[in-house]
Amino acid sequence: MSKLDTRWMYTISGVKEMLNRELDDQTIFLLVSKRLFEEVERISMVIEKSNTFSETYTEYILGELESVLHESEYIKMLASNEIKKDEWEKYGFDGDYQSLLNYTLDTLYDLGDLKLIDNNGVRRKLIWVS
């Protein structure tokens, strides 16, 4: 059985604080998606350059993080009106920013639940979102 390192490898902080602000949904989700995009992009670059996990784990993690980047970019485009409201239906968006953001956060939470074994045989907890 491998040793478990109980510390999180990466933390994305400030998200909960942004969600609790008294702003309209569109502004909150624009701020959160920008924060997520920046942090997930940084984490992806670190994982890609490191030799922490096997190639299989690395490919899986990077694929999931790429999904989050894609969703964050999509939220930013919607919230900033880069995709106009009259075009939302074409993109499958019904105006529910909360549902879209929850989907994106769920992907990160799922990654946080993983305990991957690194190349040194240590089980690692990957990402914490706070």
- pLDDT in the model for residue 2: 67
- pLDDT in the model for residue 91: 84
- pLDDT in the model for residue 122: 84
pLDDT in tens, 54-66: 899 899 999 999 9
- pLDDT in the model for residue 1: 60
Neighbour tally for 98: CB within 10 Å: 12
Domain map (residue ranges) of the chain: 3-129
Residue appearing with tokens 């096997």: 54
Low-confidence ranges of the chain (pLDDT < 50): none
- pLDDT in the model for residue 34: 77
Q: Looking at the whole model, is its pTM more than 0.85?
A: no
| SS (HEC) of the chain | CCEEEEEEEEEECCHHHHHCCCCCHHHHHHHHHHHHHHHHHHHHHHHHHCCCCCHHHHHHHHHHHHHHHHHHHHHHHHHCCCCCHHHHHHHCCCCCHHHHHHHHHHHHHHHHHCEEECCCCEEEEEEEEC
